[in-house]
Structure 1
Amino acid sequence: MGIPTEPIGSIPRPSSLLSAMADGDPAALSAEQSAAIADTISRLEATGSPVLVDGEQSKPSFATYPITGLTALAPDGAVIPFADGHTRQLPRLTAGPFRYQVRAETYLRTAREHTSLPVKQAVIAPSALSLLYPADGIDGYPRKTFVDDLIDEAEADIRGCLDAGAHVVQLDFTEGRLSLKLDPSGGLLDDFVALNNQVLDRFTDDERARIGVHTCPGGDQDSTHSADVDYAGLLPKLFGLRAGNFYVQLASEPDPDRVLGVVAAHLPPEARVFVGVTDPIDPRVETPEEVRDRVLAAARHLPADRLGTCDDCGFSPFADDTSTSRDIAFAKIAARVEGTALASGVLGV
Structure 2
Amino acid sequence: MQISRDRILTTHVGSLPRPVDVAELLFAEERGDPLDPAQVDDVFGRAVADIVRRQRDAGIDIVSDGEMSKISYAAYIKHRLTGFDGDTPRRIPADLEQFPGFAAHAVRTGGGTPTHTRPRCVGPIAVKTMAPLEADLKHFHAALRATPAPGAFMNAAAPGVIALFQPNDFYPDDDSYLDALATAMRAEYEAIVAAGFVLQIDSPDLALGRHMMFKDRSDDEFLARIDRHVAVLNAALANIPKAQIRVHACWGNYEGPHHCDVALERIAPVLLKLKAGALSFEAANPRHAHEWDVWTRYKLPDDVVLIPGVLDSTTNFIEHPLLVAERIVRFAGIVGRERVLAGSDCGFSTFAGYGTVHPDIAFAKLAALAEGAAIATERLWKN
Corresponding residue for residue 197 of structure 1: 231
Residues 123-169 of structure 1 show CA distances to partners (whole Å, capped at 9, x for unaligned) of: 111111234343xx52xx53455433222122222111110100x21
Q: CA deviation at 1:321?
A: 0.8
Change in Cα spacing, 1:232 to 1:247, as seen in structure 2 (3 Å) is: same
Q: What aligned pairs does 1:294-333 form with structure 2 within 5 A after superposition?
A: 294-333=327-366
SS where residue 308 of structure 1 aligns? Answer: coil
Cα shift at 1:228: 3.6
Show the counterpart of 2:267.
234
Instruction: Give the TM-score of the pair, scaled to structure 1.
Output: 0.87
Distance 1:148 1:270 in 2: 27
Aligned ranges 1:35-54 → 2 under 5 Å: 35-54=46-65
Match of 2:292 among 255, 260, 270: 260
- CA contact 1:248–1:312 (8 Å) conserved in 2: yes
User: Which of 300, 314, 320 does residue 287 from structure 1 map onto?
Assistant: 320
Tell me, what secondary structure is at the counterpart of 1:305?
helix
- Identify the residue that residue 110 of structure 2 maps to in structure 1: none
Give distance in 1, aligned partners of 2:239 and 2:257. 34
Distance 2:206 2:64 in 1: 23
**125 and 189 in structure 1: CA distance in 2 versus 1, 3 angstrom threshold:** farther
Map 1:68-79 → 2, pairs under 5 A = 68=79, 70=82, 72-76=84-88, 79=91
Equivalence for 1:90: 118
Query: Please, which of 180, 190, 193 is the counterpart of residue 149 of structure 1?
Result: 180
Are the structure 2 counterparts of residues 202 and 123 from structure 1 closer, same or farther at C-alpha, using a change threshold of 3 Å?
A: closer
Distance 1:270 1:205 in 2: 17
SS across alignment from 1:8:
coil
How far the C-alpha of 1:268 sits from its partner, in A, is 2.9
Once residues 265 and 104 of structure 1 are traced to their aligned partners in structure 2, the CA distance between those partners, rounded to angstroms, is 40
Moved more, 104-113 or 21-30: 21-30
Secondary structure of the residue that 1:196 maps to in structure 2? helix
Question: Is 1:171 aligned to residue 201 of structure 2?
Answer: yes
1:226 Cα deviation from its structure 2 partner: 7.0
Q: Which residue of 1 aligns with 2:141?
A: 112
Q: Which residue is 2:245 aligned to?
A: 211
Give the number of equivalent residue pairs: 342
Give, in whole Å, the separation in 2 of the partners of 1:228 and 1:215. 12
Task: Call closer, same or farther: CA 1:254–1:145 in 2, change over 3 Å.
Answer: closer
Distance 1:122 1:217 in 2: 18
Q: CA deviation at 1:78?
A: 6.3
Conservation of the 8 A alpha-carbon contact between 1:4 and 1:308: yes
Over 3 Å counting, the alpha-carbon distance change for 1:255 and 1:59 in structure 2 is closer
Contact 1:98 1:146 in 2 (8 A): no
Q: Distance in 1 between matches of 2:288 and 2:325?
A: 17
Tell me how far apart the structure 2 counterparts of residues 224 and 110 of structure 1 sit (CA, whole Å). 38
> What's the Cα RMSD here?
2.8
- CA gap 1:211/1:255 in 2 versus in 1, 3 angstroms: closer
Tell me what 2:210 maps to.
180
Structure 1 distance, partners of 2:87, 2:367, is: 39
Structure 2 CA distance for aligned equivalents of residues 343 and 127 of structure 1: 35
Q: Which amino acid aligns with 2:366?
A: I
Extract unaligned runs of 5+ from structure 1: none
Distance 1:64 1:202, change over 3 A: closer
Q: Distance in 2 between matches of 1:47 and 1:288?
A: 13
| Paired residues of 1:78 and 1:91 also in contact (CA < 8 A) | no
Q: Counterpart of 2:19?
A: 14
Question: Percent of pairs identical after alignment?
Answer: 26
CA distance in 2, matches of 1:67, 1:215: 22
Give the structure with the larger helix fraction.
Answer: 2
Q: Which secondary structure does the structure 2 equivalent of 1:209 belong to?
A: helix
Give me the TM-score of the superposition, normalised by structure 2. Answer: 0.80
Give, in angstroms, the shift of residue 229 of structure 1: 3.1
SS at match of 1:113: helix
Distance 1:52 1:224 in 2: 31
Contact persistence 1:279–1:311 (CA under 8 A): yes
